[in-house]
Amino acid sequence: GAVVSQHPSWVICKSGTSVKIECRSLDFQATTMFWYRQFPKQSLMLMATSNEGSKATYEQGVEKDKFLINHASLTLSTLTVTSAHPEDSSFYICSAWGGGEAKNIQYFGAGTRLSVL
């Protein structure tokens, strides 16, 4: 299957700082990338959908000014958690969709655990 790399895998930061998470599709061009958040023992909740070169579409209840998403190329999307607070601590996962043979299949990164102190 397709490979999606997510970095960093774990980050600890102080309250009020910003954190950037990168998501790269390594062996295919990702037309669309998705960002999810998972709380302990819960399902994956979609935060936003990003298409290369255009603004991200955020799900209801997700603050777009807090969670900045940039999809500058077909292989890279970034999520920046701005002015992070302890309640932002969570597991963030990206996925990429490339179309073609990967039709309807999203391939996921390994996730980033964010801990805000």
Partner 1 sequence: DQQVKQNSPSLSVQEGRISILNCDYTNSMFDYFLWYKKYPAEGPTFLISISSIKDKNEDGRFTVFLNKSAKHLSLHIVPSQPGDSAVYFCAASYTGTASKLTFGTGTRLQVTL
Q: Which of residues 27-46 bind partner 1 (CB under 8 A)?
A: 31-32, 34, 42-44, 46
- Measured CA to CA, the distance from residue 34 to residue 57 in angstroms comes to 10
Q: Does 95 bind partner 1 (CB under 8 A)?
A: yes
Encoded tokens for 106: 């999203």
Q: Does 100 bind partner 1 (CB under 8 A)?
A: no
Encoded tokens for 116: 């805000």
Provide the CB-side half-sphere exposure for 1 (13 A, CA): 13
Q: Does 6 bind partner 1 (CB under 8 A)?
A: yes
Is residue 81 within 8 Å of residue 91, measured between CB atoms?
no
- Tell me the residue type at 2: A
- Candidate segments 12-20, 62-70, 74-82, 86-94, binder of partner 1 by CB under 8 A: 86-94
Using CB under 8 A, pick the residue from 27, 29, 64, 99 that binds partner 1: 99
Tell me how far, at minimum, the Cβ of 65 lies from partner 1, in Å. Answer: 21
Of 89, 77, 86, 85, give the one whose Cα is nearest residue 20. Answer: 77
Q: Which of residues 10-29 bind partner 1 (CB under 8 A)?
A: none
Q: Are strands 107-108 and 90-97 parallel, antiparallel or unpaired?
A: antiparallel
The binding site for partner 1 (CB under 8 A) comprises 1, 4, 6, 9, 31-32, 34, 42-44, 46, 49, 51, 91, 93-95, 97, 99, 103-111, 113
